[in-house]
Amino acid sequence: MIQRYIQSDYSPLIEIWKQSVIHTHDFLSKEDYELILSKLPEYFSSVDMYVYRKESRIAAFMGVSGNKMEMLFCHPDYIRQGIGSSMVKYAVQFLNIKYIDVNEQNNKAVEFYKSQGFIVIGRQAHDAFGYNMLHLMYSE
């Protein structure tokens, strides 16, 4: 079930972010991991947050701003169970999401978003942390 974020969700979201990034972002340096972790409160407060609850546990979350999905993280225990797909479909249908940026080095995420109907429309060399980003747009 997808619901709006509430303040009591904060600690589980931090843990999901940590586990997800460790599992999927092997290209991040330890320093960048720690820096991004320290900025999560700022990032979370700058977007509309949604959580996916499964059996009363938060399995994933996403942050959206305008027509762009700014983040989507799924706990590794729930990857490949359709939760990410459900969240993307919800975001496209009900939140009018059209765009997302993805680390080019995160091949699994790039392929996931392509499988959800997104196409690459641009590339940015060196984001704020020095990583290449792909700009994707929903095309279905």
**pLDDT for res 9:** 74
Say whether pLDDT at 5 is over 90: no
Amino acid at site 65: S
Q: pTM of the full predicted structure?
A: 0.89
Mean pLDDT (whole number) for 33-54: 91
Q: What is the pLDDT of residues 24-36, one digit of tens each?
A: 887 888 888 898 8
Burial 93-117 (b: 16+ CB within 10 A, else e): eebebbbbbbbbebeebbebbeebe
Give the CA distances from residue 104 to residues 37, 69, 111, 113, 127, in Å, rounded to whole numbers and listed in that order. 20, 16, 10, 12, 11
